[in-house]
Amino acid sequence: MRPLKLTIAGFGPYAGVQELDFTKLGQRGLYLITGDTGAGKTTIFDAITFALFGEASGGDRSADMLRSKYAGLDAPTFVELTFAYDGKEYTVRRSPEYQRKKTRGAGTTRQAADAQLTYPDGRVVTKWKEVDRAVREVIGVSREQFAQVAMISQGSFRQLLQADTKQRQKIFRDIFGTGLYVSLQEELKERTAQVKLRRDQTAAGIRQFVESIVWDPEDPLAAEAERARSGELPTAEVSRLLEELLTRDTARQEELTGQSSRTDREMEQVVAGLTQAQARRRAQQSLAEKTGEEQRRTAVLAQLTAAAEQARATVPEQEQLARQIAGLEAVQTDYDALEQKRRALQEKKQSLTQAQTAKQSLERRRAALAAQLEDMTRERKGLEGADADRERLENQRQRLNQRREQVLLLVRDGKALDRARQELERLQQAYLAAARRSDQLGRQYDGMQRAFLDEQAGILAAGLEPDMPCPVCGSVHHPRLAVISQQAPTEADVKRAKGDYEGAQKQTEKTSAQASAQRGSVAAAESAFREKSAALFGEMPLEQVPAAGEAEAEQLNGQLQTLAGQMARLEEQTARKIQLDRLLPDREKALSDEDGALTQAQSQLAALTAAARELADQVAAMEEKLVYPDKVTLNREIQARRQQLEDLKSALTRAETAYNAGKEQLAAVRSAIAQLKEQLAETQETDVEGLTRQREELLRRRGDLDARSKTVHARLTANAAAREGIAKKAQALSALDAQYAWMKALSDTANGTLSGKDKVMLETYIQAAYFDRILDRANLRLRKMSGGQYDLERRKNASDQRSQSGLELDIVDHINTTRRSVNTLSGGEAFLASLALALGLSDEVQMSTGIHLDTLFVDEGFGSLDSEALNKAYLTLAGLTQGNRLVGVISHVAELKEKIDRQIVVKKDRTGQSRANIVAG
């Protein structure tokens, strides 16, 4: 990647549009970015990084901090970079989110962030994330990788030099993409843990089966079984023990089964004898009961015979009631006709009442509609002028609003001018204080310098010896030696005073520039404020303008509020007029409809009156012919006679049914007595008590055998399940033990956790290979810059075997033949080592990834180097330009300004804004 043209607008200290044509710097070689402190040199790097990746070059500057504080509210903020990659030109343009002036009305609004990338073929990609993805596809690096490889910003040099293994792992992971090895390490660790879990679960399953083994406490194998349950026997011995226990319990089960069969046969004989004895006893009891029942049922049958004869005597009365009921039922239809006429008359009367009520309601509704139509017509006529009044008030409101906005804007400008004046006064006071301090420190420095020089004679005299020539005048006689004052300053005191004085001078210059810039801002603001004030208030003293503006704004607010109330009332009147125009035709049609409905209701009322009179005459004629007043009374009489008939019939049926049942029950009892007598004649007496005692003994014996059999069966079931479970899990455990052994060794190796070995993970091992190649490249430059004294070397053996290692870095001193930590290097030595390492990293990334970065940016101070080291660093950077590589360096060092003739010079004007110019040399 090579930048061709950079355009900056409203970005950092660059308020206006700034263009930098990098093609003027040539295709290769060094160029210098120089200028005042804080002028915006690093901002050029920030702009390139922001254009490519949407972020600044330094991690402490986010995108929302890049809007220029000097840019006007209507000035845009953007960065546009045209760059070449692989022989093709691309243009990327980005704008951060910022506040800008509204296009309509006063105030500001949010300008959303935007991005756009134009390909060599004219194709355009928009949207922030899509441009991020497209730029990375083109140049092949992320912002973090770009910062490490192509743009080495302030503070980044020593980060890689003095990092420990964990820090370098993170750096290399981002640059070389070794995260996939971490994923492999974690996958191995996770799978090993899963195998161990299955292995432990299988072993626990075997222990559960062993703990489930049961045995007879009297068994000779009981002691050995206790040892197995306690975990003292190996799995093979436990399996053998289970086989013996199962063999013994199987034999016991067969023996108990035989005893149970013999007991069952004896029980069958005893139960048969008891059953026969119980049957004879029940037959004897039943015979006695049936004989008594025969006597009772004979007496009951005599009573039932008399009741049946009495019920048969009511048959003639039943026939007479049936004839009476038939006669009454014949006249029921006459009463039905009467009831229909009565219901029809009642319905006509209800309809007549409803018709009268409807007619009265129609009359009231028509009167209300007529009155409402008259009121609405009168109201509509009174609203004719509302539209014209509303338009007149709207024009007046617009004029008042425009005047109020102009006045309020002038008041805000006045307050801003007051704040600017206060800031000017503060800066002037700061300048005066800095000037006084600079003068004071200057006088102190001059006094200490003179006192120090005055004391040099005393220092020289202190070193003279008798009869030895003076190094100044050559005399061997020293009649009166100068004496050193106890209050004389040391050389260090003089240097410290000089440094304080120079720092104060710089602070004075800085505050003077700030006050001067603020004075210009105040003058411009006063001129603009005076012009706006004259336009609004005429020739009024400026100090009276704010109060006059606020008073007029308050007055205008009151007028606008009054006007708003008037307009609201007119709005209501206009809305009411529109509503009446819509409602009046509806109300007129409704009144016409009501007139028609009223005429129809009068006709219907007359027809209903005539029909009701005719039905009343028909009902009166029918009532004179019938005996009972209504059908309900007739039905009650029919129902009473029917009930009487039903009662007589039911009594006859019940009497005959009871007689027949009594006769059948007496016959059944006599038949049962004959069967019981025959059954007793066929059986003999039995010893029931003896058979009962024999059965109880057999039941006790069978219960004991069942209990013992259940115990043996439970042991057989549990131990057979344990034998099968142990056999299955023992085979699985053997396979899991073998799998876990090799998987743990592989996981520990990959994760660097092998006992007694250096803690080097797989990712670290891969990164170490990259690191060794980086160090090979870095040492080519470090040897030149250090005169062959130093080499960087990766530490092969860890200082301890408890923490992660493999990427620690030592410095090898070939002069002293020592090896030590890079943290022991002095400031200048550390800078050279850091620079060499950063350049080695840049070379290795481009070689190993195939990325082409034809430009290198270095933003780092060179002030810690002496002249010789600075010259070597310069030669090293100059050597990077071979192969058409362009290297940009930010520095304040004067020697570099003399060595590098191609420069980007950044200057800050009195207002604090910056400009950059390219000097091609």
Query: Tell me: the pLDDT tens digits for 255-269?
Result: 888 888 888 888 887
Q: What is the pLDDT, as a whole number, of residue 118?
A: 95
Instruction: State the pTM of this model.
Output: 0.44
Cβ-Cβ contacts under 8 Å for 767 (sequence gap 6 or more): 168, 169, 172, 173, 176, 178, 806, 807
- Least confident interval from 382-391, 483-492, 761-770: 483-492
CA atoms of 696 and 703, how far apart (whole Å): 11
Q: What's the average model confidence in pLDDT over 191-206?
A: 83
Q: Indicate whether 597 pLDDT > 60.
A: yes
Percent of the chain's residues with pLDDT above 70: 91
Q: Give yes or no for residue 482 having a pLDDT over 60.
A: no
Distance CA 872, CA 898 (A): 15
Q: Hunting for tokens 């330094």 — which residue is that? A: 58
Write the burial class of residue 882 (CB in 10 Å: 0-12 exposed, 13-18 middle, 19+ buried). exposed
Taking only the tens place, the pLDDT of each residue in 368-406 is 888 888 888 887 777 777 777 777 887 888 888 888 888
pLDDT higher for 174 or 346?
346
**Contact of 308 with 654, CB cutoff 8 Å:** no
Q: H/E element holding 572?
A: helix 545-625
* Residue 173 near residue 182, CB atoms below 8 Å: yes
Tell me what pLDDT residue 158 has: 63
pLDDT tens-digit map of 519-535: 888 888 888 888 888 88
Q: 108 forms bridges with which residues in the sheet?
A: 101
Nearest to 165 by CA among 860, 795, 859, 908: 795
What single string gives the DSSP state of each residue in 209-249? HHHT----TTSTTHHHHHHHHTT-S-HHHHHHHHHHHHHHH
pLDDT of residue 677: 80
Percentage of the chain beyond pLDDT 90 is 7
The mean per-residue pLDDT over the stretch 553-558 comes to 86
| DSSP H or E run through 664 | helix 631-682
The reported pLDDT for the residue numbered 254 is: 86
Average pLDDT, the chain: 81
Q: Tell me how far CA of residue 676 lies from CA of 283, 667, 687, in angstroms.
A: 6, 15, 21
- Confidence category of residue 741, pLDDT binned at 50, 70, 90: confident
CA–centroid distance for 616 within its chain: 85
Token digits for 735? 């396979």
Q: How confident is the model at residue 457 (pLDDT cuts 50, 70, 90)?
A: low
**Residue 105, phi-psi category: left (phi > 0), alpha (psi -120 to 50), beta (remainder):** left
Mean pLDDT, range 105-123, rounded to an integer: 90
pLDDT score, position 91 = 96
The average pLDDT across 456-473 equals: 60
What is the DSSP-derived secondary structure letter of residue 759?
Answer: -
Q: Which of 622, 625, 640 lies closest to 328 in space, CA to CA?
A: 640
Model pLDDT, residue 371? 85
pLDDT of res. 152: 67
- Over residues 327-361, the pLDDT tens digits come to 777 777 877 887 888 888 888 888 888 888 888 88
> How confident is the model at residue 122, as a pLDDT?
92
Tens digit of pLDDT for each residue in 9-54?
Answer: 999 888 889 999 988 888 777 888 888 777 888 888 889 989 998 8
Token output for 86: 């692989």
* Cα 648 from Cα 376, distance rounded (Å): 84
Per-residue pLDDT band for 276 (boundaries 50, 70, 90) equals: confident
- Could you tell me the two tokens for 178? 């070794």
pLDDT (0 to 100) of residue 153: 60
- Integer Cα distance of 210 and 204 in angstroms: 10
Lowest model confidence (mean pLDDT) among 81-85, 207-211, 437-441: 207-211
In this prediction, residue 777 carries a pLDDT of: 87
Separation of alpha carbons 893 and 125, rounded Å: 42
Q: What does the pLDDT look like over 791-802, one tens digit per residue? A: 999 887 655 545
pLDDT at 58: 59
Give the pLDDT confidence score for residue 282 in this predicted structure.
80
461 or 594: which leads in pLDDT: 594
Residue 880 has what pLDDT?
63
Q: State the pairing for strand pair 151-152/855-859.
A: parallel
**Mean local confidence (pLDDT), 467-482:** 59
Q: 61 or 298, which is more confident?
A: 298
**How confident is the model at residue 352, as a pLDDT?**
83
Q: Which residue has 């049942």 as its token pair? A: 661
* Domain range summary for the chain, segments of one domain joined by +: 1-140+854-921, 222-308+672-715
* Mean pLDDT, residues 214-241 taken together: 82
348/355 Cα distance (integer angstroms): 10
Amino acid 468: pLDDT: 63
pLDDT band at 80 (very low <50, low <70, confident <90, very high): very high
pLDDT at 449 over 60: yes
**What contacts 56, CB < 8 A, 6 or more positions away?**
46, 49, 50, 62, 63, 65, 66
CATH topology of domain 1-140+854-921: Rossmann fold (3.40.50)
For the residues 83-94, what does the mean pLDDT come to? 92
Quick one: pLDDT at residue 791?
92
